[in-house]
Amino acid sequence: MADSPPLARRLSSKAVKANTLLRAAEIVGGLDALCRYLAVQRDDLLSWMAEEAEPPLATFLLAVDVVLQDSETYGLKAKPSRP
């Protein structure tokens, strides 16, 4: 569709942050583990994941770091080797 904005603009900031937090929770072993890692209350984390509010930037960046570290650790191993 010519009238549709690019994908990057269609994804809201809240959605990107929620997805990042969800992935970080998977990586660290669940919601409680992520709450401890981020030093936040469970209710706050759940509201961010539900896109009801946005996390503070510093908190979001900690979650991004979890996801990036996981990608660096496991992403490289997942690539097929070349002959």
Q: Could you tell me if residue 54 is inside a domain? A: yes
Over residues 3-36, the pLDDT tens digits come to 555 655 557 889 999 999 999 999 999 999 999 9
Burial of 62 (0-12, 13-18, 19+ CB in 10 A): middle
pTM given for the model: 0.76
What is the number of structural domains in the chain?
Answer: 1
Q: Which domain holds residue 29?
A: 13-65
Q: Could you tell me if residue 25 is inside a domain? A: yes
Over residues 36-77, the pLDDT tens digits come to 999 999 999 999 999 999 999 999 999 999 999 998 777 654
